[in-house]
A and B are shown apart, each in its own frame.
Chain A
Amino acid sequence: MKAISALIIIIAFSFSVQAQNCSNTLTGKLVDFHNGDPLTDAIIQVDGKDIEVYSDFDGNFKINDLCEGKLELKISHPECQDLIYPVLIEGNTSVKIKLEHHLKELGEVLITGRQYIQQTKTGQEQRIEKETLEKYSSATLGDALKEISGVSSLNTGNRVVKPVIQGLHSSRVLIMNHGVRMEDQQWGAEHAPNIDLNSAGNISVVKGASALQYGGDAIGGTIIVEPEKIPVKDTLYGKTILSGSTNGRGGSVTSSLVKSFKNGWYAKAQGTVKKFGDFEAPDYVLSNTGNEEKDFSLNLGLNKFSSGFDIFYSYYNTEIGILSSSHIGNVSDLIRAINSPAPSIIRDFTYDINPPKQEVEHHLARFKYYKRIENLGKLNVQYDYQLNNRLEYDIRTGDDRGKPSLDLELQTHTLTSNFKFDANNEYLINVGINSNYQENFPNPATGVRRLIPDYKQYKLGVFASGEYKIDNHWLAEMGFRFDYTHLDAEKFYLKSRWNERNYDEDFADIIVEDFGTQYLTNPVFNFNNFSATGGVSYTFNQFQLNGNYALASRAPNPAELFADGLHHSAAIIELGDLRFGKETSHKFSISFTKNKGDFSFNISPYYNYINNFLLLEPNSVETTIRGAFPVWEYRQVNARLFGVDIDWNYRMSDKFNYRGKFAYVNGRDTKNNKYLIDMPPANLANTISFQQKNWHNLNLNLTGDFVARQNQYPDNNFYYNVLENDNYVNTLVDVSTPPEAYFLVGFNARATFYPFKKGSLEVGFSANNLLNTSYRDYLNRLRYYADNLGRNFTLQLKFNY
């Protein structure tokens, strides 16, 4: 009671003082939160009064004639976030105010031409912005990534699109989705990334293993899918994109809504639905190639200056039909398919999706917390959980009709923490630890022997990376990482296979139980991987020259270790080996860039030497009761890849622009002195754009894509005796010869309108394969069976509100 009356007296007193004295001076000093550097030329305003002053060269400012009492200062600096700062004036008052000066992390204002954090300062990195991603709204992540030179795709039809970076893919390409390392059975060549590209704000591609923070095994590269930055202000906005395509007679709807507050709280919801029926090649329907996808994501968090958190959940669900005619039995069926100009099954268009098909579901949940520590840096702690369920359906009979042939459930828990020391202007150091538990459960209800066994995997990684700004021209970067992997599997082997692989001699001690025709075994592996990167960057005039070396090493994936059976979609027997060791890559890359002026370019040559490179190649034919099958065995060889990616842009006038890109890669198995399989052929794309801002921001693009024939391929062809008219004919099975070169023309137009009180409407129209060219692609696994897609028109409406 006494305290309250005292308080009342104090308040009353302070009011009376305020009324009397209005000649106080406030002096202040503005400094950078991180390193204490003074902030020059900041605007300081007093809320509710017509006062505005600037900070001087030493960060000092002075405001005269202030009354005593509380007031609020609004501080704005071109490189900082606006700050509201309450001050209590009691006589002549002095304050020291710290501002967040590292705006590149808050992402609202451009600093030195870049709005984003680069993942590598000395390696090769490229990026796709939101505007480009939106054009691919109804397509797949893999399609959009091909905008980047040196990125191609390994396809199974046209909806299973797996990114290939400078000739490497699957387990060699790491995908970070909203800060989470995707674990979605990425070892499989016909397993596309389980990401809705509409959830991305931008995508960066690091070519090579220079982004060590995410993993030391990214021999091919790292794809970083990041959400759009949510501004720290009171706002509510959203967008909806509707797309409709003639080919596939379907389309997509995607929508997002963001609510954020000045105090840092924000929430976002986003969802996508896609539906397509059978796609069409120029001359026929590609039966059973429909696709249905349903995704959504939710995001909630607090983005404060000194600390904050973020909760993210996303769900991805897709059902993809696999071309009916690609489901074949044995070598005889394969020969018939290769020698037939058109697919063996062509039915009328339908939206139905029948076996063979894939059904994949991916859940991703993430919790992230960060705290900035004054004069030191920023601490991040993150936990994430992923659940991936992959069902693959084959054509089955009897009681098994409608039952999947493959049912894999992969759960991954990851706990990550890193600390970024960014207080010093010259140094930036990032250290972190990463622990991970993974469990794979292949459901025995399929009644089909497991392709990938039950396993539990523990991983522990530690890393440290740093950059040092030597002067205005030179920057050096260096990083180290160590990963430990412990894999404990329970795998059944047919006794015949066990003996044929000579495991009876080397692994007799891992047999747990004898089941008549099969053994249950318990293979356990430990891998220690060391990776490192180092590089320099030199900036002069309008140019930047980067040089980088990256050492990466990767433990063999479950398919490479355990595969031991018939792979239906390819009509091959795939054999892994328990004896495999890790794969180690040494990559040297250079990147020469000019990014200012009317003519800009980037030239990125590289050389990648890979020791113990794991590849899958045919080596014999095995006879089974279903006929003969080529046997493809995983082997470890030494490989070297070199190539170059080039991008260029010429702004001819304020209306016309020309840009192009080119990529070439040459891969060779140096152990057996032959070319590597599935290397992307040389490709060249040219685009001419016209833009007229006054005509509703009209934008027209005409693109020509040329893909050369791959002449550097290994000859894996073999002969097989086919019975024709009572005689055996020795027939060539041509599984190697790449298809011819092709040239595709594309067109796209867009314009923006303002038909509503608020917001805008963007109308886009695009045409792919405008000339309806029939072609096949070397990197499409279904190229033996059918042509690629014919002409397609897409109409897209984007509402911003």
Chain B
Amino acid sequence: MMKNLKLLALFITAIAFTSCSDDDDAPEVINEEEVITDVSLTFTNESNEETTYTFTDPQYRDENYVDPVILLNEGEIYQVETNFYNNSNPQDPELITAEVQEERDDHFITYSFSEASVDLNRTDSEASTDSNGVQIGLFTEWITTATSSGEVIVRLIHQPESKDTSDGYGSFSGGETDVEVSFDIEIQ
């Protein structure tokens, strides 16, 4: 019955237009280019030791993924580099940071701490400072002031109406959030 109906529908439509089955090829896969799947913070301590913590979008996590916990020592200064990646196509991982840097007038990164005692300074060079002289926040210096445990929220804002770096952490108005992730921090 079903099959007959389909055939009949096919037949009737085919009478009027014979050239509509142009392609039966499978549609091509889209690996989104603008998607940010990973955010990493790379800490370099005073003894020049490097540690990287990476947050991965829940849609792109594999079974081995564990939520990152940033371990820091009290009273130390860390040089921190923030990076954004698009790993949606595992064959072709992509570093998005360069694009953010290139379009530095349109981007801004902020760091908000909850119950973790960290003082923060922006150390961006000219390459990540926008045309108004605002350091967009790809490079920062973290000074741990007391033993504590809490969280840091890293935000990447696209086209904010205003950027404010008067306190290092950064604040803004307007714009659209491209990234908003939270890392746990333990300061010992």
Q: Does A492 contact B (CB under 8 A)?
A: yes
| B58 adjacent to A623 (CB under 8 Å) | yes
Name the residue on A nearest B117 (C-beta). Answer: A726
Query: Are B99 and A397 in contact (CB-based, < 8 A)?
Result: yes
Asked if A627 contacts B180 (CB within 8 A), the reply is yes
- How extensive is the interface on chain A, given as a class? 35 or more
Q: Could you tell me the distance between the alpha carbons of A325 and B161 in the complex, rounded to whole angstroms?
A: 11
Once the chains bind, are B158 and A395 in contact (CB under 8 Å)? yes
Q: Are A344 and B174 in contact (CB under 8 A)?
A: yes
User: Would A344 and B34 be within 8 Å (CB), given that A626-B178, A627-B180 are in contact?
Assistant: no
Binds B, one of A76-84, A259-267, A508-516, A644-652: A508-516
Given contacts A329-B177, A624-B57, A624-B59, contact A397 B106 (CB under 8 A): yes
Inter-subunit contact B9/A626 (CB<8 Å):
no
Choose from A332, A400, A439, A726 the contact partner of B113 (Cβ within 8 Å): A726
Report the nearest A residue to B2, measured CB to CB.
Answer: A526
Among A435, A444, A496, find the residue whose CB has the most chain B CB atoms closer than 10 A: A435
Q: Of the candidates A400, A516, A520, A622, which one forms a contact with B26 in the assembled complex, judged by CB atoms under 8 Å apart?
A: A520
Decide if A625 touches B114 in the complex (CB within 8 Å): no
Contact, CB under 8 Å: B115 / A726: yes
In the complex, whether A723 has a CB less than 8 A from a CB of chain B is yes
Closest to A450 in B: B30
Q: Is A496 in contact with B60, judged by CB distance below 8 angstroms?
A: yes
Any chain A CB within 8 A of the CB of B173?
yes
Contact of B90 among A383, A395, A437, A517 (CB under 8 A): A517
B34 touches A459 (CB 8 A): no
**Beta-carbon contact of B15 and A415 below 8 Å:** yes
Whether B158 lies near A397 (C-beta < 8 A) is: yes
CB of B52, distance to nearest CB on chain A (Å): 17
Q: Which residue of A lies closest to B59 (CB)?
A: A496
A446 vs B17: C-alpha distance when bound (angstroms): 29
Interface status of B76 (Cβ within 8 A of chain A): no
Beta-carbon nearest neighbor of A396 in chain B: B34
Question: How many Å from the CB of B7 to the closest CB on chain A?
Answer: 10
CB of A633 closer than 8 Å to a CB of B: no
A146 within 8 A of B: no
Question: In whole Å, how far is B120's beta carbon from the nearest beta carbon of chain A?
Answer: 12
Q: Which of B158-188 contact A (CB under 8 A)?
A: 158-159, 161, 173-181
B60 to chain A, nearest CB (A): 6
* Inter-subunit contact B5/A460 (CB<8 Å): yes
B66 at the binding interface (Cβ < 8 Å) = no
The answer to whether A447 and B5 have CB atoms under 8 Å apart is: no
A496 close to B58 (CB less than 8 A):
yes
Contacts of A437 in B (CB 8 A): 9, 13, 17, 20
Contact of A329 among B5, B6, B20, B176 (CB under 8 A): B176
Residues of B within 8 A of A395 (CB): 158-159, 176
The distance in angstroms between the C-alpha atoms of A221 and B49, with both chains bound, is 69
Check: B119 CB closer than 8 A to any chain A CB: no
B59 A518 Cβ-Cβ under 8 A: no
Chain B interface residue count, CB cutoff 8 Å, equals: 59
Q: Which residues of chain B are near A374, meaning CB under 8 Å?
A: none
Closest to A628 in B: B180
Chain A neighbourhood of B30, CB < 8 A: 444, 446-450, 492
Q: Once the chains bind, are B60 and A517 in contact (CB under 8 Å)?
A: yes
A-B pair number, CB within 8 angstroms: 160
Interface residue A742 (Cβ < 8 Å from any Cβ of B): no
Interface code B1-27, partner A: CB below 8 Å = 1, 0 otherwise? 010011011101101110010000011
User: Closest B-chain residue to A453, C-beta based?
Assistant: B27
How distant is A179 from chain B, measured CB to nearest CB, in Å? Answer: 16
Taken together as a complex, chains A and B put the C-alpha atoms of A454 and B176 apart, in Å, by 30
Contact A330 B180 (CB under 8 A): yes
Q: A345-B174, A397-B158, A459-B9 are in contact. Are A625 and B29 (CB under 8 A)?
A: no
Nearest CB of B to A406, in Å: 12
Interface string of B24-51 (1 = CB under 8 A from A): 0011111111101111000000000000
Considering the chains assembled together, what is the distance between the CA atoms of A39 and B157 in angstroms?
80
Given known contacts A415-B15, A415-B16, A458-B10, A484 and B5 CB-to-CB distance under 8 angstroms: yes
Interface string of B145-160 (1 = CB under 8 A from A): 0000000010101110
A450 contacts across to B, CB distance below 8 A:
27, 30
Which residue of chain A is the closest to B33 with respect to CB atoms? Answer: A447
CB pair B177–A626 under 8 Å, yes or no, is yes
Question: How many Å lie between the Cα of A444 and that of B39 in the bound state?
Answer: 26
Contacts of A762 in B (CB 8 A): none
Asked whether, in the complex, the Cβ of B34 is within 8 Å of the Cβ of A492, the reply is no
B108 close to chain A: CB less than 8 A? no
Candidate in A397, A512, A622 with the most chain B CB atoms within 10 angstroms: A397
Q: Chain A 413-438 against B: per-residue CB contact (8 Å), 1 yes, 0 no?
A: 10100000000000000000101110
Per-residue contact bits, chain A 476-490, to B (CB 8 Å; 1 contact, 0 not): 000000001010001
Q: How far is the CB of B67 from chain A (nearest CB, A)?
A: 11
A490 touches B5 (CB 8 A): no
Alpha-carbon gap, A395 to B99, bound state (A): 15
Interface presence of B123 (CB below 8 A): no
- Assess the B173–A344 pair: CB atoms within 8 A: yes
Query: Interface readout for A634-655 with B: 1 if CB under 8 Å, 0 if not?
Result: 0000000000000000000000
Given contact pairs A458-B10, A624-B59, A333 touches B88 in the complex (Cβ within 8 A): no
* A448 contact set on B, CB distance < 8 A: 30, 32, 34
Bound: A516/B89 CA distance, A:
8
Tell me whether B181 and A625 are in contact (CB under 8 A): yes
Partner of A447, one of B9, B34, B57, B58: B34
Chain A min CB distance to B2 (Å): 6
User: Known: A344-B161, A383-B16, A486-B6. Is A723-B153 also a contact (CB below 8 A)?
Assistant: yes
Give the chain B neighbours of A622 by CB distance below 8 A: 58
CA distance A497 to B181 in the complex (A): 20
B91 at the interface (CB under 8 A from A): yes
Min CB distance A392 to B, Å, is 15
A672 at the interface (CB under 8 A from B): no
Cβ < 8 Å to A, chain B residues 101-117:
102-103, 106, 112-115
Q: How far is the CA of A641 from the CA of B52 in the complex (A)?
A: 57
Cβ-closest chain A residue relative to B8: A460
Cβ proximity bits B51-95 to A, threshold 8 Å, 1 near / 0 not: 000011111110000000000000000000000000011110000
Please determine whether A627 and B177 come into contact, CB atoms closer than 8 angstroms.
Answer: yes
Complex: A327 Cα to B176 Cα, angstroms: 7
Which residues does chain B contribute within 8 Å of A332, judged by CB atoms? Answer: 177, 180
The reply on A578 being an interface residue by CB < 8 A is: no
- Which of B26, B34, B56, B88 counts the most chain A CB atoms within 10 A? B34
Residue A540 at the B interface, CB < 8 A? no
* Closest B residue, CB atoms, query A723: B112
Distance of A383 Cα from B99 Cα, bound (Å): 51
Answer yes or no: A727 CB below 8 A from chain B CBs. Answer: yes
Contacts of B159 in A (CB 8 A): 395
Asked if A113 lies at the interface with its beta carbon under 8 angstroms from chain B, I say: no
The reply to whether B161 and A484 form a contact with Cβ atoms under 8 Å apart is no
- Asked if A398 meets B176 with Cβ closer than 8 Å, knowing A437-B13, A444-B27, the reply is no
**8 tightest A-B CB contacts, nearest first:** A329-B177, A627-B180, A435-B12, A625-B57, A460-B9, A437-B13, A329-B176, A458-B9
* Chain B residues packing against A (C-beta within 8 Å): 2, 5-6, 8-10, 12-13, 15-17, 20, 26-34, 36-39, 55-61, 88-91, 99, 102-103, 106, 112-115, 153, 155, 157-159, 161, 173-181
Residues of A within 8 A of B (CB): 325, 327-330, 332-333, 344-345, 383, 385, 395-400, 411, 413, 415, 433, 435-437, 439, 442, 444, 446-450, 453-454, 458-460, 484, 486, 490, 492, 494, 496-497, 512-513, 515-518, 520, 526, 622-628, 723, 726-728
- Can you list 27 residue pairs at the A/B interface with Cβ under 8 Å? A327-B176, A329-B158, A329-B176, A329-B178, A333-B175, A345-B161, A397-B99, A397-B103, A398-B103, A413-B16, A415-B15, A444-B28, A446-B30, A447-B34, A448-B34, A460-B9, A460-B12, A517-B88, A520-B29, A526-B6, A624-B58, A625-B36, A625-B180, A626-B177, A627-B155, A726-B113, A728-B114
- Interface contacts beyond A439-B20, A486-B9: sample of 9 additional A-B pairs, CB < 8 Å, sorted by A: A329-B177, A437-B17, A444-B30, A446-B30, A497-B59, A518-B29, A526-B2, A625-B39, A627-B179
